[in-house]
Amino acid sequence: MCKKSNLGVLGAAGGIGSALSLLLKLQPHLVSEIRMQDIDKSMLGIAMDLSHINTPVTVQGYTGGTQLKDALKGADVVVITGGISKVPVMTRENLLAPNAIIMRDLAIACSELCPNAIIDIVTNPVNSCLPIFCETMGRLGTLNPTKVIGVTTLDVTRIQTFIANMKGLDPRQVTCPVIGGHSLVTMIPLLSQCKPHINFSENETEALFNKIRTAGDEVMKAKRGNGTAQLSMAYSAAYFIFEQLKAMTGKPDVVQCGYSMNNIHKTEYFSSKLLLGKDGIIKDLGLGKLSNFEKEKLNEAIPLILKDVETGRKFLKER
């Protein structure tokens, strides 16, 4: 029988963390235990509620500083969904100040309590949060860059849906990588690598780029100030985590897009197709062949990713 994993979900009282935990609770063949942690005191009740669902996955709630330690100790995978999310007139970058502190503190806690865990970061702005997390662990001598991944699967989920809707296809049959980062200009769907192969006109390509880049803001506006995307984000994080867990139990050829620290792209941190294995990332599979339009978009994205990484570093230096 495959080894099942203990997962710590941090920020689990929020809309993303609680929906994600529900999806994890429904996968007893991959997950043995979910430790739901949040500073919000309703956490214990939410965890109790989830624990009443009749699957063999154990659920435990944790709240407050000392209980964070209990949530992290011995975790195989830690998913970070906590932090502040956008309200209208904010960009993802505006979230850096509050969320950077959370990233730094959680990196310190993970270094102490679960330095070998795989860490999946959902909290925005992912482009800067992941560097802060990695470089804090680096300072503490606990960083394994193959085990810290920014979850950008929502962009993949969205583009596959938008392509399917545009072309009248079943969205489950469409695959399309998204590279770069998770912000307006840094996300680059590789339409030329879409499967099945589809020819897109210039107008269709522009429309899809625009739709994926503004999707988060469109959801936020439609929610009328009541938060940003949660259900599609929770689904996407769960999808990524299930693939990761399958790879951890020995399934070969698991490839997912994710934002990670690496030295094959000009930016040090980049989202690309990653081959996943027992201990996180086995290999960055690179970009493959890009169309001229995609190359142009990549050239626009690189300086912005570099800037996001530097902003994260600057925050760390000032603390």
Q: Which structure tokens are listed for 113?
A: 């309590």
Binding-site residue numbers are: 11-17, 38, 99, 122-124, 233
Residue 212: CB minimum distance to ligand LMR, A: 9
Q: Active-site positions?
A: 182
Q: Cβ closer to ligand LMR: 232 or 262?
A: 232
Q: Is 297 in the site for ligand LMR (CB under 6 A)?
A: no
Are the CB atoms for 54 and 29 separated by under 8 Å?
A: no
Q: Is 92 in the site for ligand LMR (CB under 6 A)?
A: yes
Q: Is 229 in the site for ligand LMR (CB under 6 A)?
A: yes
Q: Is 216 in the site for ligand LMR (CB under 6 A)?
A: yes
Residue 12: CB minimum distance to ligand LMR, A: 18
Binding-site residue numbers for NAD(+) are: 11-17, 38, 99, 122-124, 233
Kindly report whether the peptide bond that precedes residue 125 is cis, defined as omega within 30 degrees of 0.
yes
Residue 50: CB minimum distance to ligand LMR, A: 23
Q: Which structure tokens are listed for 140?
A: 């503490």
Q: Cβ closer to ligand LMR: 228 or 256?
A: 228
Q: Is 189 in the site for ligand LMR (CB under 6 A)?
A: no
Residue 28: CB minimum distance to ligand LMR, A: 29
Q: Cβ closer to ligand LMR: 35 or 86?
A: 86
Considering only 124, 244, 262, 271, the residue that binds ligand LMR (CB under 6 A) is 124
Q: Is 154 in the site for ligand LMR (CB under 6 A)?
A: yes
Q: Is 86 in the site for ligand LMR (CB under 6 A)?
A: yes
Are the CB atoms for 247 and 281 separated by under 8 Å?
A: no
Please give the residue whose beta carbon sits closest to ligand LMR in the complex: 216
Residue 75: CB minimum distance to ligand LMR, A: 24
Q: Cβ closer to ligand LMR: 61 or 131?
A: 131
Q: Is 219 in the site for ligand LMR (CB under 6 A)?
A: yes
Q: What gap in Å lies between CA 130 and CA 262, rounded to an integer?
A: 12
Q: Is 228 in the site for ligand LMR (CB under 6 A)?
A: yes
Q: Cβ closer to ligand LMR: 216 or 312?
A: 216
Contact residues toward ligand LMR (CB under 6 A) are: 86, 92, 124, 154, 216, 219, 228-229
